[in-house]
Every structure is written in structure tokens, then in C-alpha cells.
Amino acid sequence: ASFGYEEVPEHEKSQRVGAVFNNVSSSYDQMNDAMSLGLHRLWKDRLVTKLSPFPGMQHLDVAGGTGDVAFRIASSLQAFSFGSSSSCDTGSVTVCDINESMLQQGQARASKGLPGGQLLRWVVGDAENLPFPDASFDSYTIAFGIRNVTRIQQALDDAVRVLKPGGRFMCLEFSHVDMPLLKEVYDLYSFNIIPKLGKAIANDEASYQYLVESIRRFPPREEFSAMLEIAQLQRIECEILTGGVVAMYSGFKL
């Protein structure tokens, strides 16, 4: 399949996204390290630091894929229970993704004993129509997932629906680099090197070209922050990471 530079019609987007993540699931973690030069680990660490997990937290990680963010949150929840003599609830982390093969990769990591694995629950579901009741989670994260969702505003509205009052929404997503020199390096890297890496590691240049394109099409930071406001999130913040390569958004359901 060739995913060119044309606009993707809405009805085709979910099929393409499904095909992309089916194709890449087995090499996904390896590709993440290669493509981001390991930086995705720092971005995810920053997300979890800012989220500040607390004992007993009921967390939902949407578009959670192989569980990278979820394992981090679960292991910090577990650290509380090791450090405390009380029997208070440790908390739980639900990983929700539309693609079962991504979740299976994550479950395989948990069964190999990756820290935090026992606190994880794996659920197939669509970010636009989450299979959870209203007000069921203290916090919600979506890392490098929202740009793949077909109706972004609907996913944001549903995030707010499943959060408890006072709950926190956080999102990591690729953004746009504005600094002139960095922008040139970034464009060269993402348009030329990432698809080649996709071919070399995953034998799938088209999927990685599609991922690069989806980053270009994602709304700028101001526009995405406005969508968070429309979803009724409050105290919205946007932190720029690595010169704008990534942005981290935070908001509360108050």
C-alpha cells in the first residue's frame, strides 16, 4: 500500500491506522527507540513526573499500545506500596487500545515480568467511545495516540466523560518545530530517514511514511489547546519538549 501525501478521507483513516499498527506491532518498541533516538523514553518519563501518580490512583491510558506509559505509571504506584506498611489500595492502570495486536505485545512484556505489570488491565476499545462508565478514573493519558484518532474532538469529550470530577487529562503528541535550523534538521530526518528506518527494521516504509504525514497534519499547539477548552477541560497547560518536536498538554475536569 502506498500512503501518499494526499489528505486522508475520514472514513479511510481508521482503516489505515488499523493496518499501520497491525503491520508494525511486533517491531513497535524497537522502532520507537530507533526513530526517536531513545528520546521517547524521556518524553514519557516527563509525562509521568508531571502526572504525579498517587497511591490508590485509578488511571486510564488510552491508545496505550504496548503499554510504555502504563508500565511507568504502574511501577510508580507499586513503589508506593513497597514503601508503605499500610494496606491501602495500590491503584490500577487500565491500558485501552483499538488494536488487539498492540495490546498483546504489551501483555507479553507484562508476562516477562516488566515492573508494574501486575497492576495493568488490558482492554480493547476506541478512544472515541470508551468502554467505561462515566466518572470512573482519576487520570487519563494518551501518548502519541490522539493524532491517529479519526474524530479528535469526540475522543476529547469522551476522555472528560470517563474522568472523575477533579481528574486530570494529559496528552503527549508530536508537534511542530519552529526554530529555523532545528526545523530543517527535523524535516530532513523525518521525511528521509524515518521511512528508511521503517524499511530497514520493520520492512514497512509506507506505514512509517504515513506516521510522518500524520504528524504534519496534526493541529498546531494553539488549535489543539482550543479543542481541550471545547471539551470543558480547565487549567490547560502546554509544555514544549525538545524544541517543539513534542508537546505535552495537561488539563483538569473541574
**Which residues of this chain interact with ligand SAM, rule CB under 6 A?**
17, 21, 62-65, 68-69, 97-99, 102, 126-128, 143-145, 148-149
Instruction: Report helix, strand or coil for 95.
Output: strand
The answer to whether 175 touches 246, Cβ cutoff 8 Å, is yes
| Least distance CB 131 / ligand SAM (angstroms) | 11
Closest residue to ligand SAM: CB criterion: 65
Give the Cα separation of 239 and 172 in Å (integer). 10
Is 89 annotated as a binding-site member? no
Q: How far is CA 125 from CA 29, 100, 152, 155, 239, in A?
A: 21, 9, 15, 12, 28
Place of cell 489543539: 224
| Least distance CB 87 / ligand SAM (angstroms) | 32
| Least distance CB 68 / ligand SAM (angstroms) | 4
Task: Name beta bridge partners: 252.
Answer: 168, 234
Is 138 annotated as a binding-site member? no
| Least distance CB 184 / ligand SAM (angstroms) | 25
Is 90 annotated as a binding-site member? no
Residue nearer to ligand SAM on the CB measure, 21 or 169: 21
Is 126 annotated as a binding-site member? yes
The answer to whether 34 touches 197, Cβ cutoff 8 Å, is yes
Neighbouring C-beta atoms of residue 69, cutoff 10 Å:
29
Residue nearer to ligand SAM on the CB measure, 45 or 80: 45
Which amino acids are annotated as binding site for S-adenosyl-L-methionine, given as ranges?
Answer: 66, 97, 126-127
Which amino acids are annotated as binding site, given as ranges?
Answer: 66, 97, 126-127
